Amino acid sequence: MQFDTPATTNPIDQLKVVGKPIHRIDGELKTTGRAMYAYEWRDPNTRYAYGYPVGSAIAKGQITAIDSAAAKKAPGVLAVVTTLDVGNLQKGKLNTAKLFGGSEIQHYHQAVAVVVAETFEQARAAAAMIKVDYAPQKGAFDLRAELATAQSPDPSTEPDSSSGDFQAAFSTAEVTLDAEYTTPDQSHAMMEPHASIAAWNGEEVTIWTSSQMIDWWRTDLATTLGVDKEKVHLMSPFIGGGFGGKLFLRADAVLAAFAAKTVGRPVKVALPRTMISNNTTHRPATIQRIRIGADRDGRITAIGHESWSGDLAGGGPETAVMQTRLLYAGENRMTAMKLATLDLPEGNAMRAPGEAPGLMALEIAVDEIAEKLGMDPIEFRIKNDTQVDPENPERPFSHRDLVGCLKLGAEKFGWDKRASAGSRREGKLMIGMGVAAAFRNNLVMPSGARVKLDKEGIVTVETDMTDIGTGSYTIVAQTTAEMMGVGIDKVAVQLGDSRFPVSAGSGGQFGANSATSGVYAACVKLREAVASKLGFNSKDVIFENEEVRSGNRAVGLAVAAGPDGLVGEDTMEWGDLTKTHQQSTFGGHFVEVGVDIATGETRIRRMLAVCAAGRILNPITARSQVIGAMTMGVGGALSEELAVDTRHGFFVNHDLAGYEVPVHADIPHQEVIFMDETDPYSSPMKAKGVGELGLCGVSAAIANAIYNATGVRVRHYPITLDKLIGELPDVA
């Protein structure tokens, strides 16, 4: 099905199942430990072997020799497979850094060997006996030191933008702000580590893994192993979080495949937690310069945003300026990115790539210019709202209710009680409130599904869509139930298997809307098959109460299916509606903090997110996405930072003791409100994404709340005690 005209009324609009607060249909499997995650997959008749990876001890250079003699003789060891043994391998299309193979080292903890043994402990012990000799080379590890060498990225994908005359307008503006902001390297820090089990059957390999994007992995794994894609079978039914860290094929799958081939048995490989931050990808650090010029009435006359980031050669920039092209009005504008070559581990997508770090900077800058103007920061944002793409005024937003989010949020949060900066105290705590706009584009991806109706009246959905903890199983079931006129208990959902039609996968907050649209398209096909078998006119049939009706005829779905059942399969493809209309999601984040006047310790007291993201398919799973994202924003504001060793080129705090994500006790009352809206331009579902929107702007709202509490403006994340303590008022 091609979606190229705005949606009109369709069966989803009945909202008997879609839009209802239905608990996760996979919840019981998860809470009882029966959901099989990648490393846990087990066939009782198989004796699995265990692979333990070895990572490079240098960041850049060549391996000259690997001595694995001692490891091979260690108890229980079945084999050692080294990067020299397998030779140069072809890299997957979507990987910047190679994952395994050959003598060249591109980054620290690049996989150099895997030790396979009868038990995990034996493999780990033997891995410590591998000796690798290196010829190290000098690398570049410090973004700030490389600013002069940074280049413009690929203009076809990350072009500079400009409209009007930014320089002239900024230099003559009545009120101006020109400030630098920085965001650090961040780690996805998902709960489940990257893990794979590989089992060969002749020339075919089956991999149970933890992947957000089944088809991307399958394609790249086939390339790297040098086998036909059809010979690779990937399974990823349950995923313990990804946040972008599992979008692209990772080393555990490659190591497991080589290890299993070598020992002739299925092999399990998980990346140890201490290897994840340097072996896999991360969100790259940014240095951002923002300039805003406004007239005395608070109208933006000039807005400029530049960002510098780094990546391995062949990689791309963190696209932190993108939202600035769309979020606020203003005639004279520019954005630009510069990319430095760094020999740190590969930088790549992490939840809301671009917008998350971009808004961490932009939404402090907006708070700052509003203060210079003597305006309330919400009033300033409302004044500079735009209903059209500011660079192309003839191109409207499909639907944009940023103003509604900010107004409703202000009312619900008690924004009118906000005091002036540094003026509210409760005992030893300085109290402040902050706000930020949330903005994230709504992407759509082709998505396929197969829907089968059987003689019991059960509808089974098959799609390679993944559920990374987001609720895909549930919203796919809801969509199917709504389309076929059955209860959710009559729907079975099968996800994450490469034998199923290729879906959008989970990424870029496109999963929910795209994947359910693919299921919608497949259900339309199944409805047609049912109607045609019964000789009904498919235009006027009604699917309701497990029956299909036309005029005064009604047939039960189970009967209609017959002994052989019926199948519908289709892929949702997208026309030009994302080009003719700017599709984005919007929100307002509100935060109240308390900062200890003596220690500078910041505690979040209250958080509210108001989101405008089209139809909400399931308020429970959507809320869960947003509160999870808000929590990630707390980490980004207050604690998360991969500390770079700029001498040796690696992330020092490569575990969850040193890389501090918020824990339960750090998170106070959180509230989420969804605006009641639909966006007919987005899909037949009229839905958009929320999983990344929930993160966008949160950290800036916290930074702004800290400023409101203390009068101290911190522009460099994370806002740790040391950045506050010297600036806090004296206490006797």
Residue numbers of the site for ligand MOS (CB under 6 A)?
Answer: 212, 242-244, 247, 349-351, 353, 507-508
- Minimum CB distance to ligand MOS smaller for 241 or for 518: 241
Do the Cβ atoms of 481 and 488 come closer than 8 Å?
yes
DSSP 612-628: E-BB-S-HHHHHHHHHH
- Minimum CB distance to ligand MOS smaller for 262 or for 348: 348
Cα–Cα nearest to 559, from 539, 530, 523: 530
Give the span between the Cα atoms of 310 and 83, in whole angstroms: 26
Q: Are strands 2-3 and 447-453 parallel, antiparallel or unpaired?
A: unpaired
Left, alpha or beta for 551 (phi > 0: left; psi -120 to 50: alpha)? left
Rounded to the nearest 5°, which phi and psi values hold at 3? -100, 100
- Residue 687 CB, nearest distance to ligand MOS (Å)? 17
Cβ-Cβ contacts under 8 Å for 349 (sequence gap 6 or more): 244, 247, 281, 283, 507, 508
- Residue 267 CB, nearest distance to ligand MOS (Å)? 27
Do the Cβ atoms of 95 and 104 come closer than 8 Å?
no
- Minimum CB distance to ligand MOS smaller for 193 or for 507: 507
Q: Which two tokens stand for residue 44?
A: 């009782």
- Residue 212 CB, nearest distance to ligand MOS (Å)? 6
Instruction: Compute how many other C-beta atoms are within 10 angstroms of the C-beta atom of residue 678.
Output: 18
Give the span between the Cα atoms of 534 and 541, in whole angstroms: 11
What is the 8-class DSSP label of residue 91? P
Give the span between the Cα atoms of 512 and 496, in whole angstroms: 14
- Using CA atoms, how far residue 36 sits from 43, 195, 253, 497, in Å, is 11, 12, 17, 13
What is the 8-class DSSP label of residue 455? T
- Using CA atoms, how far residue 174 sits from 164, 171, 372, 562, in Å, is 18, 9, 11, 75
What is the 8-class DSSP label of residue 531? H
Do the Cβ atoms of 621 and 689 come closer than 8 Å?
no
Give the span between the Cα atoms of 60 and 64, in whole angstroms: 13
Q: Are strands 447-453 and 459-462 parallel, antiparallel or unpaired?
A: antiparallel
Amino acid letter for position 331: E
- Residue 625 CB, nearest distance to ligand MOS (Å)? 12
- Residue 107 CB, nearest distance to ligand MOS (Å)? 20
- Minimum CB distance to ligand MOS smaller for 140 or for 695: 695
CA 23 from chain centre, in angstroms, equals: 22
What is the 8-class DSSP label of residue 38? G
Query: Of the residues 371, 677, 692, 727, which is catalytic?
Result: 692
- Minimum CB distance to ligand MOS smaller for 465 or for 481: 465
What is the 8-class DSSP label of residue 13? G
Give the span between the Cα atoms of 449 and 500, in whole angstroms: 7
- Residue 271 CB, nearest distance to ligand MOS (Å)? 18
Active site annotation includes 727: no
Give the span between the Cα atoms of 682 and 685, in whole angstroms: 8
Q: Which two tokens stand for residue 434?
A: 């902050």
Give the span between the Cα atoms of 110 and 642, in whole angstroms: 17
Indicate the residue whose CB is closest to ligand MOS: 244
Q: List the catalytic residues.
A: 692
